[in-house]
């Protein structure tokens, strides 16, 4: 019998698909990707439009509430986020106990989970509860990223500045300098581009966690854990390391030959969905070029261009092209961010998408409980430990 009863409907079993490639895990209205055409939309709006005309908080509102905010909606939302930016001194004290050599994303994940200690009420049918959780998570995560950066150097974190917008405030919190408006704008565009991307691994993780009806802090913390790996958000840190290892344009081809001969993956290339260049990588490349032109040519930008061309020649016919992570590390480096916080920067942005999926999951919730194909043995004898 190849059918599984699922309430009123009958479903046909399917073969095991490693990585669930091509298997729908949800019905969603949050974003749409066409991997053949290289198109990405948030709530039906092309990412190119949003990167050019929107800002991160407006895009976050769009993703989470499903429509562009009115001017009043946006002002109120910005006001609320500004007024929730500070983090409790006890959380700062907790971060001071973290090992300074620990990875920043782990520190932020632990801090987000600890936020849940203060707001554990789970009133999912109360729109005010959902709104407060969204505002707190969007507002406090950048503060936590900047705070850990200062704490691990033995310094006290800075107080967020109410007169600065989302991206500019983060640049200030990290550098303690007046933020450069052009750099703040480019960082804001990067946040928009990283905010959401359909059913990727960390979003799937967020939805699975959300489906148990746990609190949104646990949802975001679990998604952050999934984001960190080198096959997902962790790739941007690896790309920068790879460009550093390559060191010069002349070394691009020998490096690529060696990596491919050893069966290694080239970080920042390939994607489960995109069969052409990732549209976000296209925009990111333009931003990296803009930074290079306006702030002095970054030699890693030249290496990146040469590497992309060489990978295109070697792997293009296998539909392996640059993904969003390839140029993001370069931009973050040009903006002056330390290399090991790149994935945390990705998390600052992606929290918008995770929250949009959390909210959508609550609206139509059924706990995730897939099946498996058991490959083990049956009726094995138990052998007492002394006899083994």
Query: Interface residues with ligand ACO (CB under 6 A)?
Result: 19, 200, 231-233, 235, 265-272, 320, 323-325
User: Nearer Cβ to ligand ACO, position 111 or 343?
Assistant: 343
Smallest gap from residue 100 Cβ to ligand ACO (A): 27
Catalytic residue among 84, 197, 271, 321: 271
| Rounded distance between C-alpha atoms, residue 133 and residue 373, angstroms | 38
Residue nearest to ligand ACO as judged by C-beta position: 270
* Known active-site residue 194: no
User: Nearer Cβ to ligand ACO, position 124 or 342?
Assistant: 342
User: Nearer Cβ to ligand ACO, position 291 or 324?
Assistant: 324
User: Nearer Cβ to ligand ACO, position 42 or 77?
Assistant: 42
Residue 150's closest CA among 142, 160, 159, 158?
158
Smallest gap from residue 65 Cβ to ligand ACO (A): 24
Smallest gap from residue 19 Cβ to ligand ACO (A): 5
Smallest gap from residue 191 Cβ to ligand ACO (A): 14
Smallest gap from residue 249 Cβ to ligand ACO (A): 20
Catalytic residue among 41, 238, 308, 325: 325
| Rounded distance between C-alpha atoms, residue 33 and residue 115, angstroms | 33
* Known active-site residue 313: no
Smallest gap from residue 260 Cβ to ligand ACO (A): 7
User: Nearer Cβ to ligand ACO, position 215 or 325?
Assistant: 325
User: Nearer Cβ to ligand ACO, position 140 or 280?
Assistant: 280
3-state secondary structure labels for all residues of the chain: CCEEEECCEEEECCCCCHHHCCCCCCCCCCEEEECCCCEEEECCEEHHHHHHHCCHHHHHHHHHHCCCCCHHHHHHHHHHHHCCCCCCHHHHHHHHCCCCCCCHHHHHHHHHHHHHHHCCCCCCCCHHHHHHHHHHHHHHHHHHHHHHHHHCCCCCCCCCCCCCCHHHHHHHHHHCCCCCHHHHHHHHHHHHHHCCCCCCHHHHHHHHHHCCCCCHHHHHHHHHHHHCCCCCCCHHHHHHHHHHHHCCHHHHHHHHHHHHHCCCCCCCECCCCCCCCCHHHHHHHHHHHHHHHHHCCCHHHHHHHHHHHHHHHHHHHHCCCECHHHHHHHHHHHCCCCHHHHHHHHHHHHHHHHHHHHHHHHHCCCCCCCCCCCCCCCCCCCCCHHHC
What are the residue numbers of the active site? 271, 325
């Amino acid at each position: 019998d190849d059918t599984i009863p699922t309430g009123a409907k009958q479903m046909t079993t399917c073969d095991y698909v490693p990585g669930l490639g091509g298997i729908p895990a949800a019905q969603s209205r949050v974003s749409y990707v066409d991997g053949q055409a290289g198109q990405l939309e948030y709530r039906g709006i092309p990412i190119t439009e949003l990167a050019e005309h929107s800002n991160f908080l407006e895009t976050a509102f769009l993703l989470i509430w499903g429509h562009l905010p009115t001017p009043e909606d946006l002002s109120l939302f910005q006001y609320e986020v500004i007024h929730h930016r500070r983090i409790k001194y006890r959380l700062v004290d907790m971060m001071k106990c973290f090992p300074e050599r620990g990875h920043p994303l782990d520190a932020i994940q632990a801090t987000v989970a600890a936020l849940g200690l203060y707001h554990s009420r789970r009133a999912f049918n109360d729109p005010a509860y959902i709104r407060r959780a969204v505002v707190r998570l969007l507002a406090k995560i950048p503060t936590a990223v900047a705070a850990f950066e200062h704490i691990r150097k033995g310094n006290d974190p800075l107080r967020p500045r109410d007169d600065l917008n989302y991206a500019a405030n983060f640049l200030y919190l990290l550098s303690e300098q007046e933020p450069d408006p052009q750099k703040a704008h480019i960082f804001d565009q990067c946040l928009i581009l990283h905010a959401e991307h359909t059913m990727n691994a960390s979003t799937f993780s967020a939805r699975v966690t959300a489906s148990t009806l746990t609190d949104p802090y646990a949802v975001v913390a679990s998604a952050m854990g999934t984001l960190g790996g080198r096959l997902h958000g962790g790739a941007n840190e690896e790309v920068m390391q790879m460009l550093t290892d390559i060191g010069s344009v002349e070394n691009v081809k020998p490096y690529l030959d060696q990596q491919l001969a050893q069966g290694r993956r080239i970080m920042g290339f390939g994607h489960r969905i995109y069969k052409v260049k990732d549209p976000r990588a296209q925009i990111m490349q333009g931003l990296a070029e803009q930074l290079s032109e306006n702030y002095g040519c970054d030699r890693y930008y030249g290496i990146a261009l040469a590497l992309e061309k060489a990978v295109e020649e070697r792997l293009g016919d296998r539909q392996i092209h640059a993904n969003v992570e390839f140029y993001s590390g370069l931009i973050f480096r040009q903006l002056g961010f330390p290399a090991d916080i790149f994935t945390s920067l990705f998390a600052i942005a992606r929290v918008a998408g995770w929250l949009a999926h959390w909210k959508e999951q609550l609206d139509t919730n059924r706990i995730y409980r897939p099946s498996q194909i058991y490959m083990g043995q049956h009726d094995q004898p138990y052998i007492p430990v002394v006899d083994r």
